[in-house]
Amino acid sequence: MNQRTYRILSVVGARPNLMKIAPLITEMRRFDDLCPMLVHTGQHYDYAMSGVFFDQLRLPEPDYTLGIGSGTHHYQTAEVLRRLGELVPQVEPDLMLVVGDVNSTMGAALVAAKERIPLAHVEAGLRSSDRTMPEEINRVVTDAVSDLLFTTEEAASANLLREGVAAEKISFVGNVMIDSLVEALRVVRSSDAVTQTGPPPGGYVVLTLHRPSNVDSPERLRATLDAIAEIARDVPVIFPVHPRTEAKIAEVGSIPLKAWDGCSAISQSGIWKLPPASYLDFVSWMDRAALVITDSGGIQEETTYLGVPCLTFRDSTERPVTVTHGTNRVVGTDPVRLIQEAKAVLRRGTDLSRRVREHQPPPLWDGHASRRIVDILRSFLNERGSARPT
Ligand code: UD1
């Protein structure tokens, strides 16, 4: 049999890449004609920000690690270019695959373009139209040099068409992050024992904050956490703290945060500060939350799938289907408005909480996006016919 093996080099770097790449690697491994290989740039490197996700998502150890670590955007991007730029000619992949919008995504995309390796971008076309967001630059650049652009929602495909991307390069396939979520829900809904903390018994709020525009200024962070403290007068707020935010909290001075002791149940009102959460813990908390407050991108999508009300503490979203779907509201960054909106959701007194009860997931958010993507990748590679015989 003339078996042919296509080398597909996937590149990840930061926490939100990991739940997106996991279902794609699992799917690629089903096919004898594909040889998936994984590079971890090391943009995120702590066990809590990376290793635990490899364990819980059953990701294979990376074939290559670049160890770039923390630094400025310029440093991170430049080091991905330099180190991956040395690796790629040795590996000679038939295709490179990147997910999301972090600095490692854009760095890897530029390496693929310079090395003239076909590039697939999963989660293409999302646009906040806010070029002050570092991720927006990463999205625009990555999409500009991609050969296959896989979108999660129809608005993303429309953005790409408007920017002049040829229609045949764009495939609306659904959301690989939801593929991982569907799997995780099977686990967390069958037993709380797999999670370290288990969700609190009554109503509670989950909070995440890490965007530089929200956490880097001590005054802004202080005002936001004071607003959250007001919301937390009646309910527990679970706040797993990103390392970037942790460093800034230390600069702000005394803030009304309760330190979780690592084992007891969170049942009292107040803001409970926790270390960064594992994937399964976080999914289990979101799944039963009365409300999620976040400045993340992916969490807007996960709450949409779960039908959990989400208030996005930002001025814009690149994921409009989460808003039109009725689960997410972009509330800006005024702490007073945040308090009003959160209290309304908790009283079940807004459109947001009413619509959420009737929710269906957005089109193609069905747990099978990675299957659609890998089908298209195989067709693309077979048409090019560049595989090496094994
Ligand atoms: C990055 C992504 C952002 C994504 C976020 C998810 C870019 C431009 N930003 O932001 O889109 O939403 O990841 O977390 O790529 N740190 C640790 N341990 C780690 C990693 C980071 O302590 O394992 C600390 C370092 O002090 C570092 C800071 O966190 O300086 C921020 O990390 P960085 O990778 O620069 O950006 P994020 O804010 O995590």
CB of 225 closer than 8 Å to CB of 311: no
DSSP string, 270-324: EEEEESPPPHHHHHHHHHT-SEEEE--SHHHHHHHHHT--EEE-SS--S-THHHH
pLDDT at residue 261 in the model: 74
Domain check: are 75 and 34 in the same one? yes
Q: How confident is the model at residue 121 (pLDDT cuts 50, 70, 90)?
A: very high
CA distances from 129 to 151, 242, 303 (A): 17, 25, 23
Q: What is the pLDDT of residue 334?
A: 96
pLDDT for residue 69 is more than 90: yes
Q: Are 261 and 305 in a shared domain?
A: yes
Regarding the beta carbon of 139 and ligand 1, being less than 6 Å apart is answered: no
Provide the pLDDT confidence category of residue 118 given band limits of 50, 70 and 90. very high
* Residue 49 backbone dihedrals phi, psi, to 5 degrees: -100, -10
Q: Is the CB of 134 under 6 A from ligand 1?
A: yes
Query: Average pLDDT of 233-240?
Result: 94
What's the pLDDT tens digit per position in 151-202? 999 999 999 999 999 999 999 999 999 999 999 999 998 865 555 566 666 6
pLDDT in tens, 203-234: 899 999 999 999 999 999 999 999 999 999 98
- Tokens 């594992």 belong to which residue? 278
Answer yes or no: do 19 and 41 share one domain: yes
Give a yes or no: residue 283 inside a domain.
yes
Task: Based on the residue annotation, tell me whether 210 is a catalytic residue of this protein.
Answer: yes
Q: What is the pLDDT of residue 1?
A: 43
Backbone angles phi, psi at 373, to 5 degrees: -65, -45
345 and 272 housed in the same domain: yes
Q: Do 213 and 126 belong together in one domain?
A: no
Interval 343-390: pLDDT, tens = 999 998 788 877 676 678 999 999 999 999 999 999 999 998 765 655
Same-domain pairing of 150 and 203: no
> How far apart, in whole angstroms, are the C-alpha atoms of residue 285 and residue 238?
8
Ligand 1 centroid–CA 389 distance in Å is: 40
Same domain, 149 and 201: no
pLDDT at 58 over 50: yes
Q: Report which ligand 1 atom has the smallest distance to the Cα of 296.
A: 12
Taking the CA of residue 48 as reference, the ligand 1 atom at the shortest distance is 23
CATH of the domain at 224: 3.40.50.2000
- pLDDT mean over 90-105: 98
What's the pTM value of the predicted model, to 2 decimals? 0.95
The average pLDDT across 40-61 equals 97
Compute the average pLDDT of residues 143-148. Answer: 98
pLDDT for 3:
61
The verdict on 130 and 88 lying in the same domain is: yes
Nearest CA to ligand 1 atom 27: 70
pLDDT computed for residue 23 by the predictor: 98
The answer on 341 and 373 residing in a single domain is no
Q: Which range marks the domain in which residue 124 is found?
A: 4-174+365-389
Q: Which of 41, 44, 45, 282 to mutate to test ligand 1, by most ligand atoms within 8 A of the CB atom?
A: 44
Q: Which of 56-65, 255-264, 378-387 has the lowest mean pLDDT?
A: 255-264
Residues 6+ apart with CB under 8 A from 367: 178, 179, 182, 183
Tokens at 271, concatenated: 């803001």
Report the pLDDT value the prediction gives residue 242, as an integer from 0 to 100: 96
Asked if 139 and 198 sit in the same domain, the reply is: no
Q: Is ligand 1 within 6 A of the CB of residue 314?
A: no
Catalytic one of 40, 44, 121, 210: 210
The one-letter amino acid at 316: S
Q: Is residue 183 part of a domain?
A: no
Q: Are residues 80 and 227 in the same domain?
A: no
For β-strands 95-99 and 119-122, DSSP reports them as parallel
Residue 271 domain-assigned (yes or no): yes
* Total number of domains in the chain: 2
Does one domain contain both 69 and 23?
yes
Q: How far is the CA of 39 from the centre of ligand 1 (A)?
A: 18
Within the chain, strands assigned E span 4-12, 34-40, 64-65, 95-99, 119-122, 148-151, 170-172, 205-208, 236-240, 257-259, 270-274, 291-294, 310-312, 328-330, 388-389
Could you count the other beta carbons within 10 Å of the beta carbon of residue 290? 17
Question: Is 211 a pocket residue for ligand 1 (Cβ < 6 Å)?
Answer: no
15 in contact with ligand 1, CB cutoff 6 A? yes
Looking at the domain assignment, is residue 245 inside a domain? yes
Evaluate whether residue 259 is within a structural domain. yes
pLDDT of residue 200: 66
